[in-house]
Amino acid sequence: MERTQVAIIGAGPAGLLLGQLLARAGIENIILEQRSADYVLGRIRAGVLEQGAVDLLREAGVGERLAREGLVHDGIELCFDGERHRIDLRGHTGKAVTVYGQTEVTRDLMQARQEIGAITRYEAEDVSLHGVDGVNPVVRYRWQGSVRELACEFVAGCDGFHGVSRASVPSQVLRTYERVYPFGWLGVLSETPPVSEELIYAHHPRGFALCSMRSRTRSRYYVQCSLEDRVEAWSDDRFWDELRQRLDARAAAALVTGPSIEKSIAPLRSFVAEPMRHGRLFLAGDAAHIVPPTGAKGLNLAASDVHYLSSGLVDWYRRGDSLGLDHYSERALRRVWKAERFSWWMTSLLHRFPEVSPFEQRLQRAELDYLVHSAAAAGALAENYVGLPY
């Protein structure tokens, strides 16, 4: 039977970042990933990194390209009633965010892992966890046609919302909290210059829209869509027309359109599973919690979980100190719930909800108005958006 110190399930940003931090601290680990490396790299997801995530990536040895190519943003814009209002992140908090795609984070981490020679088993099928409530967990999986077993001291469940790790925690141990929103986001990636220097979050009677970017020549746009919508029903022309209608006149005129490179629909959900530890199994990232993407927190939460988990494991292996591991769930969850609240609030503020009363619609407009005319309210948004230190 193969052995390692930490078995990591999932090679998304959480698993790869954890693997890198542990390997650099001399802690052996093997990652088991269900998909191929190309499939993982092909998933277009988050784009905004908090300073804490940037610092952690640097600590993991993958800060170089990020420092060179990441776009530092000192503000974001809110657009409603045909006007744009800037939220000065730097002015309110002294901090900024960095725009750098999840795909690039993943690519950098995969390359670094290959360079240090750590093992990742891609296309590992039927992963199952055994004995995580004892001291000798075993992970069973099928790889290249044969069943394998991996003995380990800890299991890190970094396998996303649909993974096997959370499902391995007995239901009487796990409490879950969930809200499903009555809409989705249709996202488009295109090789076109971004419509504006900074991100635009737009509230419009036709629905929410977001103008983001990946570089000075590549844009990422989203429009709120119905849960029944199918990507095939959205031609590029239909998408650009819809996006244009939801923006202010200046942005609509400046929008450069082009063929989409990628187009996909994601449903919106808030979800938390507590606790994030069961015996020697630790959940991190989307395996334990989901936020709707409006607050740009999903990837950042995966990074902060990994920060707490990696430092807990390092303390354990270096000094036999279990305090960090014992407090992992509580520490991570405190931060998770702050991000859950903010992401729910940003989502409620900016989307069009079916079946809201005219009264609630006016309240939503009043809240937007308050936000852009009150330094305290804008400051609170900025503070949450840039994120807390770890």
Residues that bind ligand DHB (CB under 6 A): 46-48, 199, 210, 212, 220, 293-294, 296
Residue 339's φ and ψ, nearest 5 degrees, are -70, -35
201 as an active site residue: the answer is yes
Q: Name the binder of 87 from ligand DHB, ligand FAD, none, CB < 5-8 A by kind.
A: none
Quick one: 47 or 137, whose CB is closer to ligand DHB? 47
Q: Which positions lie near ligand FAD, rule CB under 6 A?
A: 9-15, 32-35, 40, 45-46, 102, 124, 127, 158-160, 162-164, 266, 285-286, 293, 296-299, 302
Would you tell me how many other CB atoms lie within 10 Å of the CB of residue 251? 20
Nearer to ligand FAD by Cβ, of 195 and 283: the residue is 283
Write down the least CB distance from residue 58 to ligand DHB, Å. 21
**8 has which bridge partners?**
31, 156
Tracing tokens 């244009």 back to the chain, one arrives at: 244
Question: Cα 381 to the chain's mean position, in Å?
Answer: 18
Give the position of tokens 């994120």: 387
Active site residue 293: yes
3-state percent helix, strand, coil for the chain, nearest multiple of 5? 40, 30, 30
Among the listed residues 73, 92, 204, 351, the single catalytic one is 73
Give the strands of the sheet with 281-283, arranged side by side.
119-121, 29-32, 6-9, 154-157, 281-283, 277-278
313: tokens are 């494991």
For ligand DHB, the closer of residues 141 and 385 by Cβ is 385
Name the active-site residue from 201, 222, 317, 328.
Answer: 201
**Closest distance to ligand FAD from the beta carbon of 263 (Å):** 12
Does 100 participate in catalysis according to the annotation?
no
Instruction: Pick between residue 72 and residue 323 the one whose CB is nearest to ligand FAD.
Output: 72
Specify the pairing of strand 48-49 against strand 277-278.
unpaired
State yes or no: is 137 an active-site residue. no
Q: How many CA atoms lie within 13 A of 345 on its CB side?
A: 14
Question: How far does Cα 140 stand from its chain's mean position?
Answer: 28
Which does residue 186 bind out of ligand FAD, ligand DHB, none, counting CB within 5 to 8 angstroms by kind? none
Catalytic residues: 73, 201, 293, 297, 385
